[in-house]
């Protein structure tokens, strides 16, 4: 039975369903992960922009100045302003205009998304399809924006942000634990595999949903969006009020996820099944089938345009009009189980597909080293290519600095040879820009110069170059310089491998520590949380109820005659009684309730968002579940029952101890009245069956 973490938003309670004993990623654990330096995060200019946009008094001119230091992002930002939201405006031609058109929230998310895409386009996790991940994220972002425009569920640009980053925890796990996560994805793709979230919990003691929430909170996204992302994985379990703004925003994200999965899936059967879910979600949003199809055609066009701009390899965009015309939803819904099961295992990647055998996302040493030539003279590029190919490099070329910047971030070459004087962006500025990125820091850069005077060489090294070669080129000298560069690159790779081993050891240690922490909070006999967890949890629920003025109740469940059972039949039978009682309680509790074993024969049930009347009814259901149990002990039958005390938080109670004291008095009253009953010492207008209230 899942437990439930209660969150609050406005007047609407939200219950985020979690696996047993799987609370949101605690701040200490997240700080440890972030301190490792391996968590996907914005770099360089992107980090500066995000920090600036969090300031209330930041000026557009200051933002434009910082953004202008990254030529690659300048180009993407202007293209985004022209291609995404500025259809009816004159073309945007400057950073300042783009900022005015898009606004700070959209710019912050775009710079974050572009930075992550640039730095984490590839990685070491063999089973994680990075290109597919970003394609799906982009489609989800565009779909969330278009549906938000139609439904007014939330600002469109903000839902674009949420859609783009809504599965970043998957990328984080692939980055933090590449080998282990590859094993998890391989296991998830097998027939009859457990859900991906369960496999992640078993391997890492956390899942990508928890990590996504922690990262979004760290980046400053509003809590309402973080909650919606978490619930989008299991929308049927939400307790959001039907018709509320929060519920409509959740429905938008669920529909956007369906669109993204349709876009990245190459299987027609899976697309048909996913289309059934999409049109169902559209109906819940009040959007007619034809309108959904028209919106999705627009989304597909934007997805193709953005994919080209971001250099993503995308499958052909599907025809949503054909999917809508395929027949009634019921006719294709029968095909849904297979696709639904695939989404259960891997909600974005359908299925998790290993990368090509050439090692495009594996270790650099697994394939020929890459070299990038940036020079505007074709003859110079041809001469450099001949020398590099003789040294068995995989060679790529660019004719100006801006293209060279984009190729360097995309290809991640080991060695880069660039001319001092380049169109668009000269060599020293290109070196400086790359050195501000994580990818650029690992590239061995050689500047070509027409002069070898001291001032020129000092300027080259201060810009961040590793070496220089004076023109005209001498092939033997160039080959010698390349061999020296190769030695440096190999040393860097050895250091990275050692670093990876250390990271792997640290990750395993962190997982072990988390499992030990969870074990310390779990009762080994029943599998319920123990007293230590119970005290922390009831204090959290007390604080939330106090803050938001919401009702809260608790129950003390005391098994009847347990000491006599132990003394008569032995501790083995006593343990079996406890296990059977725990199973019965699990089956009878509601989704949002939490039950813990706090003593030998005593349990505590925490009931958020529950008044006294409803708590008494729930307690009676628990009593009946226990009363129906019995165990065979030799020739005798052992009956099981419990006395249950119920209490609700009232304004006169100073703290949570007073609430538990009232519940304890209720359990004592139940035993006084003959056991096997529910009682409370507080006033209530209802009394039924085995329920007793104080006079």
Specify if 322 maps to a domain. yes
Distance CA 113, CA 33 (A): 20
Highest mean pLDDT among 119-123, 406-410, 415-419, 502-506: 415-419
Same domain, 541 and 633: yes
Asked whether residue 136 falls in the same domain as residue 272, the answer is yes
| H/E run at residue 679 | strand 678-680
Specify the DSSP class assigned to residue 472: S
List the single range of 83-87, 162-166, 306-310, 680-684 with lowest mean pLDDT: 83-87
Q: Is the pLDDT of residue 348 over 50?
A: no
Q: Is residue 220 scored above 80 in pLDDT?
A: no
Are residues 594 and 482 located together in one domain of the fold? Answer: no
Residue 219: which CATH number? 1.10.3210.10
Are 572 and 603 in the same domain? yes
Q: Name the strand (E) or helix (H) holding 438.
A: helix 438-441
For residues 81 and 97, the answer to whether their CB atoms sit within 8 Å is yes
Mean pLDDT computed over 31-35: 69
User: Domain check: are 167 and 280 in the same one?
Assistant: yes
As a whole number of angstroms, the distance between CA 177 and CA 204 comes to: 9
- Domain-located, residue 310: yes
Looking at the fold, whether 172 and 268 belong to one and the same domain comes out as yes
- Count of structural domains within the chain: 3
- Amino acid 631: pLDDT: 84
* Domain match, 679 and 563 both: yes
Mean pLDDT for the chain overall: 78
State both tokens at 611.
């008044």
Q: Please state, in angstroms and rounded to a whole number, the distance separating the CA atoms of residues 138 and 145.
A: 11
pLDDT of residue 656: 92
Residues paired with 291 in a beta bridge: none
**Pair 537, 469 in one domain:** no
Lowest mean pLDDT among 141-150, 209-218, 264-273: 264-273
With respect to residue 418, please indicate whether it lies within any of the assigned structural domains. yes
d(CA 19, CA 1): 8
513-517, 606-610, 673-677: the lowest-pLDDT one: 513-517
> Can you tell me which residue has the tokens 């319920």?
528
Compute the CA torsion angle 315, 134, 175, 363 (nearest 10 deg).
40
Instruction: Flag whether pLDDT at 185 surpasses 80.
Output: yes
Residue 414: give its domain's CATH number: 3.40.50.2300
| Maximum average pLDDT range among 83-97, 481-495, 651-665 | 651-665
What are the b/e assignments for 147-186, b being 16+ CB within 10 Å? bbebbebbebbbbbbbbbbbbbbbbbbbbbbbebbbebbe
Q: Is residue 54 part of a domain?
A: no
Burial of residue 274 (number of CB atoms within 10 Å: 0-12, 13-18, 19+) = buried
**Phi and psi at residue 647, to the nearest 5°:** -150, 150
Residues 264 and 369 reside in one and the same domain = no
Q: What is the pLDDT of residue 367?
A: 54
pLDDT at 553 over 80: yes
Indicate whether 284 pLDDT > 70: yes
Q: Which of 493, 519, 543 is the last residue of a domain?
A: 493
Looking at the domain assignment, is residue 683 inside a domain? yes
Burial class (CB in 10 A: 0-12, 13-18, 19+), 531: middle
Tell me the pTM: 0.52
Q: Which residues contact 266 (CB under 8 A, 6 or more apart)?
A: 315
CA dist., res. 551 & res. 49, Å (int): 43
How sure is the predictor about 345, in pLDDT bands with cuts at 50, 70 and 90? very low
**Do 484 and 414 share a structural domain?**
yes
Which range has the top average pLDDT, 326-330, 409-413, 499-503, 604-608?
604-608
Most confident residue range from 26-35, 117-126, 611-620, 633-642: 611-620
Is 669 within the bounds of a domain? Answer: yes
Range of the structural domain that residue 237 is part of = 14-40+120-345
Which among 186, 194, 192, 195 has a CA at the least distance from the CA of 353? 186
Q: What is the pLDDT of residue 100?
A: 66
What is the structure's pLDDT at 560?
92
**How many residues would you count in the chain?**
695
With respect to residue 472, please indicate whether it lies within any of the assigned structural domains: yes
124 in the Ramachandran plot: left (φ > 0), alpha (ψ -120 to 50) or beta? alpha
> pLDDT class for 356, splitting at 50, 70, 90?
very low
pLDDT for 511 beyond 50: yes
- 30 burial (CB, 10 Å; 0-12 / 13-18 / 19+) is buried
pLDDT for the residue 58:
62
Rounded-to-integer distance, Cα 101 and Cα 82, Å: 9
The model's confidence at residue 55, banded by pLDDT at 50, 70 and 90, is low
Question: Does some domain include residue 619?
Answer: yes
How far apart are the C-alpha atoms of 339 and 600, rounded to whole Å?
A: 46
586: CB partners within 8 A, 6+ apart: 1, 595
Distance CA 637, CA 269 (A): 55
Residue 5 has pLDDT above 60, yes or no: no
DSSP for 645-674 reads: EEEE--TT--SHHHHHHHHHHHHHHHHHTT
Which residue would you say has higher pLDDT here, 685 or 539? Answer: 539
Q: What are phi and psi of 556, to 5 degrees?
A: -105, 115
Three-state DSSP at 216 gives helix
Q: Which of 517, 684, 678 lies closest to 611, judged by CA? A: 684
Q: What is the CATH number of the domain that holds 564?
A: 3.30.70.270
- Residue 660: pLDDT band by 50, 70, 90 thresholds? very high
- 553 and 406 in a common domain: no
Question: Which pLDDT band, with edges at 50, 70 and 90, does 602 fall under?
Answer: very high
Q: Which of 299, 317, 345 is the C-terminal boundary of a domain?
A: 345
Is residue 518's pLDDT more than 90?
no
Angle between the N-to-C axes of helices 27-35 and 475-520, in degrees from 0 to 180, rounded to the nearest 10: 160
- pLDDT attached to residue 149: 79
Both 485 and 591 in one domain: the answer is no
Q: Tell me the per-residue pLDDT of 292-335, one tens digit each, with 9 for 90 and over.
A: 888 888 888 888 887 877 778 887 778 887 787 765 443 333 33
Indicate whether 251 pLDDT > 60: yes
Please compute the mean of the pLDDT values over residues 658-677 and round it to a whole number: 93
CA angle 580, 581, 587 (to 5 degrees): 90
Q: What are the E-state strand segments in 382-515?
A: 394-398, 415-419, 444-449, 467-470
Contact 360/130 with Cβ under 8 angstroms? no
CB-hemisphere CA count at 13 Å for 357?
0
């Amino acid at each position: 039975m899942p437990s439930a973490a209660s969150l609050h938003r406005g007047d609407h309670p939200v219950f985020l369903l979690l696996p047993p004993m799987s609370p949101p990623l605690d701040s200490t654990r997240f700080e440890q992960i972030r301190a490792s330096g391996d968590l996907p995060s914005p770099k360089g200019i992107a980090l500066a922009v995000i920090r600036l946009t969090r300031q209330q008094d930041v000026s557009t001119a200051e933002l434009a100045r910082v953004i202008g230091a990254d030529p690659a992002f300048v180009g993407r930002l202007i293209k985004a302003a022209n291609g995404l939201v500025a259809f009816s405006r004159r073309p945007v031609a400057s950073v300042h205009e783009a900022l005015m058109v898009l606004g700070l929230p959209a710019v912050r998310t775009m710079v974050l998304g572009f930075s992550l895409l640039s730095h984490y386009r590839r990685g070491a996790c063999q089973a994680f399809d990075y290109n597919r991940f970003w394609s799906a994220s982009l489609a989800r972002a565009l779909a969330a924006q278009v549906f938000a425009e139609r439904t007014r569920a939330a600002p469109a640009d903000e839902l674009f942000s949420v859609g783009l980053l809504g599965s970043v925890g998957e990328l984080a796990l692939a980055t933090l634990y590449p080998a282990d996560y590859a094993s998890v994805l391989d296991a998830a793709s097998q027939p009859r595999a457990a859900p991906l979230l369960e496999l992640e919990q078993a391997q890492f003691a956390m899942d990508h949903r928890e990590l996504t929430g922690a990262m979004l909170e760290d980046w400053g996204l509003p809590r309402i969006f973080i909650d919606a992302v978490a619930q989008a994985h299991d929308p049927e379990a939400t307790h959001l009020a039907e018709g509320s703004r929060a519920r409509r925003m959740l429905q938008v994200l669920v529909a956007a996820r369906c669109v993204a999965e349709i876009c990245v899936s190459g299987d027609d059967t899976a697309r048909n099944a996913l289309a059934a879910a999409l049109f169902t979600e559209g109906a819940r949003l009040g959007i007619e089938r034809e309108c959904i199809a028209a919106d999705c055609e627009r989304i597909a066009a934007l997805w193709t345009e953005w994919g080209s701009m971001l250099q993503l390899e995308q499958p052909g965009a599907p025809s949503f009009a054909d999917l809508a015309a395929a027949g009634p939803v019921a006719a294709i819904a029968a095909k849904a189980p297979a696709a639904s099961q695939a989404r259960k295992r891997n909600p974005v990647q359908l299925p998790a597909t290993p990368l090509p055998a050439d090692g495009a996302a594996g270790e650099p040493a697994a394939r020929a080293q890459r070299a990038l030539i940036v020079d505007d003279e074709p003859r110079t590029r041809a001469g450099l290519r001949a020398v590099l190919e003789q040294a068995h490099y995989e060679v790529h070329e660019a004719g100006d600095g801006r293209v060279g910047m984009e190729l360097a971030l995309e290809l991640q070459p080991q060695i880069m040879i660039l001319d001092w004087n380049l169109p668009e962006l000269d060599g020293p500025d290109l070196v400086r820009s790359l050195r501000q990125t994580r990818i650029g820091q690992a590239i061995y850069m050689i500047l070509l110069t027409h002069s070898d005077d001291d001032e020129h060489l000092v300027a080259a090294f201060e810009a961040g170059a590793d070496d220089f070669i004076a023109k005209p080129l001498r092939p033997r000298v160039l080959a010698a310089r390349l061999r020296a560069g190769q030695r440096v690159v190999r040393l860097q790779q050895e250091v990275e491998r050692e670093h990876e081993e250390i990271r792997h050891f640290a990750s395993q240690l962190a997982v072990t520590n988390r499992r030990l922490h969870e074990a310390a909070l779990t009762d080994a006999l029943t599998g319920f949380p123990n007293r230590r967890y119970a005290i922390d949890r009831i204090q959290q629920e007390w604080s939330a109820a106090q803050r938001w003025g919401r009702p809260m109740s608790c129950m003390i469940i005391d098994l009847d005659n347990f000491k006599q059972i132990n003394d008569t039949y032995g501790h083995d039978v006593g343990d079996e009684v406890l296990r059977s009682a725990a199973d019965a309680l699990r089956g009878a509790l509601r989704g949002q309730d939490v039950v813990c074993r706090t003593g030998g024969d005593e349990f505590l049930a925490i009931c958020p968002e529950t008044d006294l009347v409803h708590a008494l009814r729930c307690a009676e259901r628990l009593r009946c579940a226990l009363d129906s149990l019995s165990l065979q002990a030799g020739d005798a039958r052992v009956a099981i029952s419990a006395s249950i005390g119920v209490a609700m938080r009232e304004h006169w109670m100073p703290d949570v101890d007073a609430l538990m004291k009232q519940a304890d008095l209720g359990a004592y009253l139940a035993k006084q009245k003959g056991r096997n009953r529910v009682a409370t010492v507080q006033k209530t207008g209802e009394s039924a069956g085995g329920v007793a209230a104080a006079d």
